[in-house]
Structure 1
Amino acid sequence: MTFDSALLSLNVELKGPVAEVRLIGPSKGNAMGPDFWTELPRVFEALGADDEVRAILLYGSGGTFSYGLDLPAMQPVFAPLLESRGTDARLRSSFRRQIQELQDAVSSVARCGKPVIAAVEGWCIGGGVDVISAADIRIASPGATFSIREVRVGIVADLGSLQRLPAIIGAGATRHLALTGEDFTAQRAHELGLVTELADDVVARGRELAARIAANPPLVVQGVKRVLDQGAEQAVQTGLDYVQVWNTAFLPSRDFAEATRAFAERRPAVFTGD
């Protein structure tokens, strides 16, 4: 299996039975723009179907995992609904389908039949947390920083964190982090169980873990993953469907418009509840 040079946001390298998927931008901090959302499911579906691949290592380039959603690059997705103030049913329906496509891109990581190890260094914000939440194993460097930051930019997180994190770190910790949007350290992520291990060279450690998994009987490994996932998919999908409807109705608000302006102007946002 090969991927052509048309991939713009990801680099895929096969090293024996381990596939390494590296976020490469093109936006600063591996922010997730249109290319990422198109390429992520394409890559993970292909790797899941490749019998030679037994484990996948996912990590970011440039010393960071991801700054999350690339708001400027994704502006064309939001702009029509914001301009209509959510009054156009056709636009709302189209916007819901777009949310679903982004959700499906993240879920391609969870659906992949091969175990996925996310190795995090630097920043892992918003959409970055959505993606690692869909992985099977998460490890981090001691200097990594995490944030479920959507609440600070006027968005209910809608790509999987709110659905998957309660089973990983508990409902209480998920509520705390999602409602405050605060940054938290790798040490705290380890204490909560979001990451199972801290390593100075997190990519090297990820490679060790991937090789160990790949050395086990592949059908048994895939069976372990499927058994652990059994029953969880329906609950996650129900939550994803619900937040599609919520954000379709409430995202086109003055507060979200203020958040996007404040982001562009590099100033604190002032929210009014409108």
Structure 2
Amino acid sequence: MLSVIIRSALQKYRGLLLPGQAAVRAMSSSSSPGSPYTTLAISHPAESVTHVELNRPEKRNAMNKAFWSEMVTCFNEIAEDPDCRVVVVSGAGKIFTAGIDLMDMASDVLQPEGDDVSRISWNLRKIIAKYQETFSVIERCPKPVVVAVHGACVGGGVDLITACDIRLCTQDAWFQIKEVDIGLAADVGTLQRLPKIIGSRSLVNELALTARRMYADEAKSSGLVSRVFADKETMMAGALEMAGEIAGRSPVAVQGTKINLIYSRDHSVAEGLDYMASWNMSMLQTQDVMKSAQAAMEKKSTKTIEFSKL
């Protein structure tokens, strides 16, 4: 059944292409002269779906100084965009990302400003907090974020995907917490989020302390990703299909679900239930509930419902 759905999505996806273009190529939206971004390509491949593509393929999508600020700007805008209900994140070129661009970032990390140890440390802490915001903004964005990984996902790439809501990958994908190999502890989200994603604390410790690679099958069995696809083209079709399914639901329900899932992850069951009660005492008054109930009684798909923008 899944293969049928993916083939159907792939056909829809190809229908969006210009003549002679490959599917994955058409998904990309190269930064135009008027684009505010130099490291990201933004496109809208389907209604209510925004595609954010890491767009430095010539540098293996390494994360330079511009990337860290552009991601914050991008996701802050997406969070406020009523036309966007779901986000798909992927990487252009041969791999998802090689992680931090050490050559470009060295001056910030290795030569922070300050006259003494205290001032240097103070400034370095501000720099680290700024980099942490780059991925925390993904987690805070109320729109669900589906990330699609192909090839290598190294270092900062793992920090990025652990802040996303749904993780997909190709059969050739591999993941590596690389930081111990360059003399530091991962400091922008992996060590905080990965233990909440993977059930085995021992496995998380092993990956973080040895910097070994985790390949697609192990990533799937451990819970890091929920689906593995044969190749990038099929994965992107699957990601779009999933994004379309989510976008077709009530944005009140979808965004409320994401916010409460994250809150409950970080709080006790009792606190999560109390927060949920406070949340839904207002959100249950939406017209979306009546529309969905009416569709169910008439045995219609929610795809037939036009939900208002949120």
Decide which of 251, 256, 260 is 1:223's aligned counterpart. Answer: 256
Residue 55 of structure 2, aligned match among 24, 37, 62: 24
Identify the residue that residue 148 of structure 2 maps to in structure 1: 119
Q: Secondary structure at the match of 1:230?
A: helix
**Partners of 2:113 and 2:170 in 1: how far apart?**
39
- For 1:253, the equivalent position in structure 2 comes to none
Distance 1:21 1:45, change over 3 A: same
Superposed counterparts of 1:1-40, under 5 Å: 4-14=34-44, 15-25=46-56, 28-40=59-71
Structure 1 residue aligned with 2:213: 183
What does 1:195-234 correspond to in 2, within 5 Å?
A: 195-200=225-230, 201-232=234-265
Q: Does 1:51 align with 2:82?
A: yes
CA distance in 1, matches of 2:99, 2:34: 25
Contact conserved, 1:66 with 1:123, CA < 8 A, in 2?
A: yes
User: Following the alignment from structure 1 to structure 2, what is the Cα–Cα distance between the partners of residues 3 and 115?
Assistant: 29
Partner residue in 2 for 1:89: 118
CA 1:82–1:123: 2 relative to 1, 3 Å: farther
Question: Deviations along 1:166-209, whole A, 9 cap, x unmatched?
Answer: 11103222111001110110111001100000112211111111
From 170, 193, 202, the counterpart of 1:172: 202
CA 1:108/1:95 → structure 2, altered by over 3 Å: closer, same or farther?
same
- Work out the CA distance in 2 between the residues paired with 1:153 and 1:38: 23
Name the larger-Rg structure: 2
Corresponding residue number in structure 1 for 2:99: 68
**Superposition misfits of 4+ residues, deviation over 2 angstroms:** 81-84, 231-235
Partner of 2:20: none
- Against the structure 1 CA distance between its residues 160 and 228, is the aligned structure 2 distance closer, same or farther, given a 3 Å change threshold? same
TM-score of the pair, normalised by structure 1: 0.80
Report how many residues are paired: 232
Change (3 A) 1:27 1:83: farther
Structure 2: runs of 5+ lacking an equivalent? 1-31, 269-310
Once residues 77 and 234 of structure 1 are traced to their aligned partners in structure 2, the CA distance between those partners, rounded to angstroms, is 35
Q: Which has the higher contact order (CA 8 A, sep 6+)?
A: 1
Cα 1:32–1:109, aligned 2, differ >3 Å: closer, same or farther? Answer: same
Name the SS for the 1:187 alignment partner.
helix
| 8 Å Cα contact 2:112-2:123 kept in structure 1 | no
In 1, distance between residues paired with 2:113 and 2:216?
Answer: 36
Which stretch of structure 1 is more off in the superposition, 26-35 or 174-183? 26-35
Q: Percent identity?
A: 36
- The alpha-carbon deviation at position 232 of structure 1 amounts to 4.0
Structure 1 residues 191 and 136: alpha-carbon distance in aligned structure 2, compared to 1, 3 A threshold: same
